[in-house]
Chains A and B, each alone.
Chain A
């Protein structure tokens, strides 16, 4: 049977933690402690979200004790324009950064981030986080 020995490493349609349906964002692929299944533990937690409307996320602001990446991916290959405008607050002082191109934000452990305001959406784009930990937790959602 094809795929018998290593099939456990392929997580199909990984939808992550169930979330209430929203009109502004759509759950995409997600790797969390919940869907590692037989291959746990892995030291990574990430989540892709389709952004289709304006809204505020990551409110209140928070930080982690591990490194994180936030990513912004356009729908179209090679687009220089993200398809929207996002404002995100970084640091304790809420320094405002504006994202309107494809981008990655690296957040070393301890760097506060949020809120994140999806200010404009002209074409749906992907946003997500990638946390170097086996399970998502933050100063606002501590691990239990």
Chain B
């Protein structure tokens, strides 16, 4: 049974990275050299207004910020309002639908502010790197 088990990361206890608004975050743990793969995936449930990213920042890899209903039975029943700033000029985007924000290499993004949450949201961060700078 042991050959492929190393490729499976299971959450057996809550992560310490969560806040009251986001709940426990699925924590990747020590995955820097995980199977040699070069992309990562982190999720959190947002249940109340919160600023989930405070900084405007950029990096040299692609990132995808995914917003959808936390209820898998109704993925497009989105009950939140999220403000996201993009570009050096901080152009504000307002997200009120289940959405994916594609952040190309070098594009400045953040802060990310959940200004209103009427239904829990699943927020997922996917990025093409072994570690995010803020997590390195």
A residues near B (Cβ < 8 Å) are 2-7, 9-15, 26-29, 31, 36, 39, 42-44, 46, 48-52, 67, 69, 71, 73, 75-78, 80, 90-91, 95-97, 99, 101-108, 111, 124-126, 130, 132
Contact = CB atoms under 8 A, between A and B. Distances in A.
B93 A31 contact: no
Given A6-B93, A77-B47, A124-B72, A104 B62 contact: no
Q: How large is the interface on B (under 10, 10 to 19, 20 to 34, 35 or more residues)?
A: 35 or more
A34 B97 CA distance: 19
Contacts of B39: 44, 67, 69, 130, 132
A6 B100 contact: no
Interface of B: 1, 3-5, 7-15, 18, 22-24, 26, 28, 31, 34-39, 41, 43-45, 47, 62, 64, 66-68, 70-76, 84, 86-87, 89, 91-95, 97-104, 107, 120, 122, 124, 126, 128
Contacts of B5: 97
Contacts of B4: 90-91, 95, 97, 111
